[in-house]
């Protein structure tokens, strides 16, 4: 049974330096008791688990779960969504490149639309490096052509939607194609997509687990291209 209005999932992998900053940043903006933040320790090998155990009790809006084996970014989010209590669900990255205030901006859009169950709110990143923008535009164009669906800034954060969408999907991928899957699924189910600008900041601590160099980017692109082709041939559920 749900007893929260909104649940936000933050998948973390080796984010020990970011954990205190994440919790304190959300503490500064969440001033209501119907929002929960679920931090998923997605098989971290650093001190993330201990920090969460020590710090979570100090923040009433937060809780954490541990995934012992990292099966992918998407699997971490799914693990969090499964224990979420919100009528509306969402996720954002734990690297803090998007501000926690964006969560409240996104949720205010849902409130403005009278808590419709048929909307999908997604950020639209600004202030990005030209190389990252080039990569994002290329993926958006390719995905749109192959899937015959207009898609833009696919991996933008945050993403928020009604529990109904999560309850009616069963084939979400476990890797970084997770964002594409939910965005595409919402479109195919005729959800109203609402975008809003978010400022994309520089990561303060740690490093990306995929955006390391051009080799890792090419591997990421290849995996996504394969998944896009598979997605085109699947039923949309």
Number of Cα atoms under 13 Å in the Cβ half of residue 30 = 21
Residue 171: alpha-carbon gap to chain centroid:
17
Confidence of residue 208 (pLDDT cuts 50, 70, 90): low
> Residues 94-118: what's their mean pLDDT?
93
> Under a CB-based contact definition with an 8 Å cutoff, are residues 225 and 139 in contact?
no
Q: Model confidence over 45-63: pLDDT tens digits? A: 999 999 999 999 999 999 9
In order of 25, 40, 172, 205, the CA distances from 231 in angstroms are 36, 26, 10, 34
pLDDT of residue 140 exceeding 60: yes
Say if residue 158 is preceded by a cis peptide, omega within 30 of 0.
Answer: yes
pLDDT at res. 216:
72
Q: Model confidence over 162-191: pLDDT tens digits? A: 999 999 888 899 999 999 999 999 999 999
> Residues 126-155: what's their mean pLDDT?
90
Name all domains of the chain by residue range, CATH numbers in brackets. 4-233 (3.90.550.10)
pLDDT of residue 235 exceeding 60: no
pLDDT at res. 127:
81
pLDDT at res. 66:
97
Confidence of residue 202 (pLDDT cuts 50, 70, 90): confident
Tokens in use for 89? Answer: 């669900």
């Amino acid at each position: 049974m749900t007893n929260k209005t909104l649940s936000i999932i933050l998948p973390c992998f080796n984010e020990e330096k970011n954990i205190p900053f994440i919790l304190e940043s959300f503490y500064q903006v969440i001033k209501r008791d119907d929002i929960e933040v679920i931090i998923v320790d997605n098989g971290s090998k650093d001190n993330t688990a201990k920090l969460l155990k020590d710090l979570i009790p100090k923040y009433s809006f937060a809780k954490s779960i541990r995934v012992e084996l990292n099966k992918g970014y998407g699997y971490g989010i799914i693990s969090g969504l499964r224990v979420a209590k919100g009528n509306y669900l969402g996720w954002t990255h734990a690297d803090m490149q998007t501000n926690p205030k964006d969560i409240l901006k996104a949720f205010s859009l849902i409130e403005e639309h009278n808590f419709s169950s048929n909307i999908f709110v997604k950020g639209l990143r600004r202030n990005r490096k030209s190389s990252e923008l080039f990569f994002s535009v290329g993926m958006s164009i390719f995905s749109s052509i192959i899937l015959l669906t207009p898609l833009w800034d696919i991996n933008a954060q945050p993403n928020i939607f009604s529990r109904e969408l999560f309850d009616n999907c069963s084939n979400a991928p476990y890797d970084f194609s997770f964002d594409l899957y939910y965005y595409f699924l919402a479109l195919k189910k005729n959800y109203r997509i609402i975008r809003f600008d978010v400022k994309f900041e520089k990561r303060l601590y740690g490093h990306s687990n995929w955006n390391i160099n051009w080799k890792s980017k090419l591997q990421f692109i290849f995996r996504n291209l394969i998944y896009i082709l598979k997605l085109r041939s699947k039923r949309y559920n």
